Amino acid sequence: MPNFKLAPWALSALALAAVAARAEEAPSPVRLNQLGFETQGPKRAIASDPSKTPLPWRLIDASGVTRASGQSQVFGLDAASGDHPHQVDLSDWRTPGQGYRLRVGAHESRPFAIGDHPYGALKRDALAFFYQNRSGVAIEARYVSDPALARPAGHAPDRATCFDKTDEAGNLWAGCGYALDASKGWYDAGDHGKYVVNGGIAAWTLLNAYERAAARGTAQAFADGTAQIPERANGVSDLLDEARWELEFLLAMAVPAGTVMALPVGPQKPADGKLVLTRLDASGMAHQRLHDKRWTPLPTAPQDDHETRYLYYPTTAATLNLAAVAAQCARIWKAIDPAFAARCLTTARTAYAAALRNPQVYAIGQFTGGGGYGDGDLTDEAYWAAAELFVTTGEAAYGQALIGSRHAPVAGRAAEDFDWGSVATLGVISLAVAPGAQSEADRALARAALVKAADAYVEQGARQGYRLPYAAKTYPWGSNASVLNHALVLGLAYDFTGRPAYRAAVVDAMDYILGRNPLDQSYVTGYGARPVRHPHHRFWTQQADPRYPAPPPGVLSGGPNDSNMSDPVAATMKGHCAPQTCWRDDYRAFTQNEVAINWNAPLVWVAAWLDETP
């Protein structure tokens, strides 16, 4: 020991450093859901060990008594993780408690809990993500877990005109002669952009959580007053209040009647980026994006973003997204707020008609300062919009569009995977669960397609070393949401059939998200012994600058991504990581560790489902 006295401030700095060091738990070779296990639910753990023969395992309670034991199941080499997993199944042990440990061979887990309803807090925190990313309103200290998370309103109002400059490829855009007040909405992700395509699927997912719960009689779980939001005493479900914040923005992104604009028509892929623009009637279409004219640095709090913001040209994809979600809105608010529902329905019809008139305006312009959400296949968007309009109105024209689509459910065929760019299954889900005009036969066909998809996911789980019901060879940007979207379909399949294998697979997916993965990482802030701490976000960016807050609990990291490793952190990992390990808890790793509304939405859905579906 050096023989000198430390100044008191140095002591406290050391103490703080020790606390920080303690907080950063070392990874354990025994991986399990760090939130713990449900008393009655499946309980699977993975130990990574090179042994080719089974290892003995023991479940030890808080007082050191062995409560269960067995032999691990050797999986062999697992491509997704690069590990040699041993699978352990403790499901038969159903006694709640704290401080359990699992010993597998020479390895011992951290203490973990078994209890009822472990997801109650998570579903609320995951929903609070949306309030805290609201644009156009102050985030008040009384509604957040830490006063440092409060902030003045950003982009209030968010009024913008159309981009009227030269884009990155040298195309000159004419502007539009109007400005829209597209205030409200949620910031998309780590950036302050607002995008109709991604807003569409995110809002739909929350609204579907509501519709599914209402159909099952559990909608009171998010009743008025259950969330910490300004609308918590307006007599309306807080889940709906939150989704409406986004809907108001989406509705505001519609192109005014009587607008003629020069837009790119058809799948143009010019080598020099120069687009052919054609003048057409854009009335009722939706602008693709609203964002800053250039990228702002990290950190930038919303209220400190003084960049000029523009509306970027309307696209068919955005228009169909608007049609779909506005149609969903129309049926949900019909009895709650008839005037709002009517506004939604008019917008949905107008948008759908505009998309039929202009079916091939793709998001191919090259603009900086925001994300593209470009998509070259809009047949799934068209199916989704027609499905939502048909469920809501029952009108023959929408029904005909469904029959003619290659995305329509067919007996014996599984529903497609979905994400922001592949949305047909959203329509299938609404046909399967939403109250509406669809026939019982339509409903049954849609359910069968979802059950068939769920069967495939269960099978995928059996082939994965970590048993997650997801088997991509390459992990996409936002892979954690892909895993959770599988869980959403599995949850629905369980609703329809009651088969325990589907519920078990939902748990498998959530186990992976909360720590049963090769990095021993909980991908949700504030949950588990090793939670993500440093997501890519312009305000929750304490790692970049200690004057900014750490993220609130309940925020999902996008997760491992070995399909696009373009950020400075990912670039150093290229070629050196198995798909499930291409991830770092670093705010600069925007391809791996960003947050996004379309990722947190399925976290809300799945956490709520688990909490409300015994």
Which of residues 32 and 378 has its CB atom nearest to ligand 9MR in the complex? Answer: 378
Q: Which of 442, 536, 537, 562 is catalytic?
A: 536
Nearer to ligand 9MR, 371 or 526 (CB): 371
The pattern of x and - marking residues 463 through 492 that bind ligand 9MR according to CB under 6 A reads --------------xx--------------
Residue among 298 and 330 whose Cβ is closer to ligand 9MR: 298
- Closest to ligand 9MR by CB, 229 or 596: 596
Mapping DSSP onto H, E and C, the string for 206-273 reads HHHHHHHHHHHCCHHHHCCCCCCCCCCCCCCCHHHHHHHHHHHHHHHCECCCCCEEEEECCCCCCCCC
Of 284, 299, 302, 371, the one binding ligand 9MR (CB under 6 A) is: 371
Q: Is 372 in the site for ligand 9MR (CB under 6 A)?
A: yes
Minimal distance, residue 422 CB to ligand 9MR, in Å: 11
Residue in the shown chain whose Cβ atom is closest to ligand 9MR: 371
| Shortest distance (Å) from residue 544 CB to ligand 9MR | 17
- Quick one: DSSP state of residue 580? G
Contact 333, 318 (CB under 8 A): no
> Pattern 327-366, binding to ligand 9MR, x per CB under 6 A?
----------------------------------------
Contact 112, 59 (CB under 8 A): no
Q: How far apart are CA 507 and CA 469, in angstroms?
A: 10
- If the CB atoms of residues 118 and 478 are measured against ligand 9MR, the closer one turns out to be 478
Binding track, positions 151-190, relative to ligand 9MR; x by CB under 6 A:
-------------------------------------xx-
CA atoms within 13 A on the CB side of 128: 27
Does position 602 bind ligand 9MR by CB under 6 A?
no
532, HSE (Cβ side, Cα atoms, 13 Å): 34
The Cα–Cα gap between 130 and 143 comes to: 12
Q: What is the DSSP letter of 531?
A: B
Helix (H, G, I), strand (E, B) or coil at 549: coil
Indicate which residue of 585, 586, 611, 612 is catalytic. Answer: 585
- Which helix (H) or strand (E) segment holds residue 487: the answer is helix 479-497
Q: How far apart are CA 204 and CA 465, in angstroms?
A: 32
Mark 419-458 with x for binding to ligand 9MR (rule: CB under 6 A) and - for no binding: ----------------------------------------
Annotate each residue in 526-565 with x if it binds ligand 9MR (CB under 6 A) or - if it does not, as one string.
Answer: --------------------------------------x-
Measured CA to CA, the distance from residue 46 to residue 169 in angstroms comes to 49
Token pair for residue 308?
Answer: 């000029």
Residue from 589, 587, 559, 556 nearest 573 by CA: 589
According to DSSP, the residues that pair with 189 across neighbouring strands are 596
Q: Is 576 a catalytic residue?
A: no
Catalytic residue among 191, 224, 380, 612: 191
| Contact status, residue 564 vs residue 586, Cβ threshold 8 Å | no
The residue from 442, 520, 567, 594 that is catalytic is 594
Catalytic, 534? Answer: no
The residue (of 386 and 481) whose beta carbon lies closer to ligand 9MR is 481
Interface residue with ligand 9MR among 594, 602, 609, 610 (CB under 6 A) is 594
Question: Which strand (E) or helix (H) includes residue 37?
Answer: strand 37-38
What are the beta bridge partners of residue 114? 37, 97
Total interface residues for ligand 9MR by CB under 6 A: 12
CB of 595 to ligand 9MR, least distance (A): 8
536 in active site: yes
- Examine the residue annotation and report whether 594 is marked as an active-site residue of this protein: yes
Q: Residue type at 98? A: Q
Calculate ∠ Cα 19-23-28, nearest 5°.
Answer: 140
Q: Cα(249)–Cα(135) distance, rounded to whole angstroms?
A: 9
Query: One symbol per residue from 188 to 227: x for binding ligand 9MR (CB under 6 A), - otherwise; what is it?
Result: xx-x-x----------------------------------
* Residues forming the site for ligand 9MR (CB under 6 A): 188-189, 191, 193, 371-373, 477-478, 564, 594, 596
Which sequence positions are flagged as catalytic?
191, 536, 585, 594
